[in-house]
């Protein structure tokens, strides 16, 4: 019994140390990127995630994609509710050189209100989403709505 309690205690400490630390005055957001979130849905083995930190009207986004049908042609932040498509790209996220020709890679960018018109109230109510676009799926192979974890 004592060994079990000790193991559970150690496991709890490990989990707590892995938690993402969000600085005071900021909000942590997450998006699970998958083909079923694209409107209309896309059948794909690809998936990914995005983490974002909202600090006032600055939205710092990082993430990764896996098993795309081809290289990512663009990764975009758009404004629309779940199940709807946004017509205008709010912010085009950067794909590092090492990920530009790959089916698996990373992305990120600081999108600001000044440069990109980020609206804090829309971020907080889940009205922004991220798409990872490919040649086979130019409107998005995977998509995820930014929201609180």
CA dist 29 and 25 (Å) reads 13
Q: What mean pLDDT is reported for the chain?
A: 86
User: Is 103 a domain residue?
Assistant: yes
User: Is 4 a domain residue?
Assistant: no
The pLDDT tens digits of the residues spanning 117-136 come to: 998 899 999 999 999 999 99
Report the domain count for the chain. 1
User: Is 137 a domain residue?
Assistant: yes
The residue segments making up the domain with residue 102 are: 23-148
- Three-state SS at 77: strand
Supply the pLDDT for residue 25. Answer: 56
User: Is 53 a domain residue?
Assistant: yes
Strands (E), 70-126: 72-79, 89-93, 105-111
pTM of the model: 0.82
Q: Is 143 a residue whose pLDDT tops 50?
A: yes
User: Is 113 a domain residue?
Assistant: yes
The pLDDT tens digits of the residues spanning 49-98 come to: 999 999 988 999 999 999 999 999 999 999 999 999 998 899 999 999 99
Cβ-in-10-Å burial (0-12, 13-18, 19+) of 145 comes to buried
Nearest partner of 78 among 36, 137, 140, judged by Cα: 140
Supply the pLDDT for residue 85. Answer: 96
The pLDDT tens digits of the residues spanning 7-18 come to: 444 444 343 333
Q: What is the mean pLDDT of residues 17-43?
A: 78
Banded pLDDT at 34 (limits 50, 70, 90): very high
Supply the pLDDT for residue 87. Answer: 82
CA dist 94 and 92 (Å) reads 7
Banded pLDDT at 24 (limits 50, 70, 90): low
- Distances in Å between the alpha carbon of 29 and those of 15, 24, 93, 98, 101? 19, 14, 16, 25, 28
Instruction: Confirm if 86 and 71 have CB atoms less than 8 A apart.
Output: no
Supply the pLDDT for residue 27. Answer: 77
User: Is 92 a domain residue?
Assistant: yes
């Amino acid at each position: 019994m004592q060994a079990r309690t000790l193991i559970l205690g150690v496991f709890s400490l490990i989990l707590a140390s892995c938690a993402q630390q969000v600085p005071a005055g900021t909000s942590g957001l997450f998006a699970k990127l998958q083909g079923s979130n694209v409107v209309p849905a896309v059948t794909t083995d690809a998936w990914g995630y995005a983490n974002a930190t909202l600090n006032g009207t600055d939205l710092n986004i990082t993430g990764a994609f896996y098993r795309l049908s081809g290289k990512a042609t663009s990764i975009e932040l758009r404004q629309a509710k779940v199940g709807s498509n946004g017509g205008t790209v709010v912010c085009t996220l950067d794909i590092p050189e090492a990920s530009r020709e790959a089916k698996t890679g990373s992305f990120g960018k600081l999108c600001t209100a000044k440069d990109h018109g980020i609206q804090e109230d829309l971020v907080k109510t889940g009205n922004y989403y991220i798409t990872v676009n490919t040649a086979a799926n130019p409107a998005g192979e995977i998509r995820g709505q930014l929201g609180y974890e």
